[in-house]
Amino acid sequence: MDFTFAPSQNELAKRVAEFAADEIAPHRREQDRSGTYRPGLIEDMAAADLFALRIPEQYGGLGLDAVSAGIALEQLAAADLSVCFPVLNAALIGGVLADNGDPEQRSAWLPPIARGEAVVALALTEPDHGTDAAGIQLSAQQDGDGWVLTGEKTSIMIATHATHALVFARTGAAGAHGISAFYTSLDDARVHREQLTDLGCRAGGRGRLVLDGLRVGPRDLVGEPGGGFTAVMRGFGVSRALIALMAIAVGNAALDEAYAHATRRTAFGRPIGQFQSVSFPLVEHTTLLHAARLVAYEALCRADRGEDPRIPSNMAKWWAPKAAVEATHQALLTMGHLGWSEDGPIAQRLRDVIGLQLADGTAAATKLTVARLVLGKEYAP
């Protein structure tokens, strides 16, 4: 059992950390206030190859493994969680397209994603169908050799930034096998967007997409009709572990601020870190985040070896965001009024990381997945 990264992975971590320190961290508060990314951010991230991480090399990507994607996302999340979502989506959707597209489709779709020219959103959730994703109702009506998409998607991260989306629509009967996936441009008058007002990750552009008779052609269909739901569920085996690492990075960044504060702040004649009531809770949260990080990387290692990552991935997804929220909260309490103030380093992190308890599957949904894998569907809820 080896707990070390390869030299190339350590170099990736260093490179992304330097990029994040120079190009992302200085803009975190302003992006939160303005509710959007700074001008040029997407182009800068593309130049740093952040959208190319998981795209196969023959399509202009770096062809890196899942562990490397986790390493990069940790560094980005420590600087500003909101910028992770276009990178996460490029990895997730790029993987779905690479696994399910034919050679001609992959050649058309994947290079623009790798170059950052196609910023991709995952359009799955609907107003009445979140955890119950197999029940989505956005309709795809056959029209000649194509389809017409009509309906609404909501809670779509980077909806206001995206140029393209992987849209899931009902092409058949009720249930998962009646859902198909379409990869389509959003640059169409029949696509209407609205940014939602959020507690955190405000620059991430979470929003609504209303498709008012958007026509897609036969070459926009990803895989076979009725195969869309299965395709994205397979992708979640990796993306849920990546989201866990994003949460852990936020929690650890908050704890780093709290530890530094505990060495600077004095009370009753000594640094407050010398009080057990200050240092012991921080150590407890550091321990929990460390353990959750190991579970997340186990999932990614298993995926890279061709093994089923779903049990550790879903374990990490329900546990890590919860642990990160609690760690960030403790950091806020440790820093007192400096933590509570929006001018300090902690308040935004707490607002941001709470959202990861919902993203890509709630705690209930991910626990259900683990229960069914461990017990078998016939014995699980």
Res. 231 pLDDT band, cuts 50 70 90? confident
pLDDT for res 304 = 97
Average pLDDT in the 141-154 region? 96
pLDDT for res 104 = 97
Average pLDDT in the 347-358 region? 98
Q: Report the C-alpha gap between 267 and 274 in whole angstroms.
A: 10
pLDDT for res 313 = 98
Percent of the chain with pLDDT strictly greater than 90 = 94
* Contact indicator for 303, 309 with CB cutoff of 8 Å: yes
Q: Is the model's pLDDT at 300 over the cut of 90?
A: yes
Average pLDDT in the 121-134 region? 91
The dihedral over CA atoms of 240, 361, 172, 223, expressed in degrees to the nearest 10, equals -10
Res. 133 pLDDT band, cuts 50 70 90? confident
Q: Which of 81, 69, 134, 28 is nearest to 359 (CA)?
A: 81
Q: Is the model's pLDDT at 340 over the cut of 90?
A: yes
Res. 367 pLDDT band, cuts 50 70 90? very high
pLDDT for res 130 = 85
Res. 131 pLDDT band, cuts 50 70 90? confident
Res. 134 pLDDT band, cuts 50 70 90? confident
DSSP string, 165-184: EEEEEE-SSSSGGGEEEEEE
Under 8 Å CB-to-CB from 327, ≥6 apart: which residues?
Answer: 251, 252, 254, 255, 285, 286, 288, 289
Average pLDDT in the 64-77 region? 98
Q: Is the model's pLDDT at 232 over the cut of 90?
A: no
User: Helix (H, G, I), strand (E, B), or coil: what is residue 231?
Assistant: helix
Of 146-155, 226-235, 242-251, least confident by mean pLDDT is 226-235
Average pLDDT in the 206-217 region? 98
Q: Is the model's pLDDT at 2 over the cut of 90?
A: no
**How big, in percent rounded to 5, are the helix, strand and coil portions of the chain?**
60, 15, 25
The amino acid that residue 175 corresponds to is G
Average pLDDT in the 228-250 region? 92
**Cβ density class 257-274: b for 16+ within 10 Å, e for less:** bbbebbeeeeeeeeebbe
Under 8 Å CB-to-CB from 111, ≥6 apart: which residues?
Answer: 55, 59, 60
Res. 44 pLDDT band, cuts 50 70 90? very high
pLDDT for res 6 = 97
Average pLDDT in the 116-121 region? 98
Res. 171 pLDDT band, cuts 50 70 90? very high
Q: Is the model's pLDDT at 234 over the cut of 90?
A: no
Q: What is the mean pLDDT of the chain?
A: 96
Q: Report the C-alpha gap between 62 and 8 in whole angstroms.
A: 12
Q: Report the C-alpha gap between 310 and 316 in whole angstroms.
A: 10
pLDDT for res 229 = 81
Res. 207 pLDDT band, cuts 50 70 90? very high
Query: Per residue in 244-281, pLDDT tens?
Result: 999 999 999 999 999 999 999 999 999 999 999 999 99
Q: Report the C-alpha gap between 160 and 204 in whole angstroms.
A: 8
Q: Which of 86, 31, 358 is nearest to 202 (CA)?
A: 31
Q: Which of 78, 33, 82 is nearest to 254 (CA)?
A: 78
* Contact indicator for 250, 347 with CB cutoff of 8 Å: no
Q: Is the model's pLDDT at 368 over the cut of 90?
A: yes
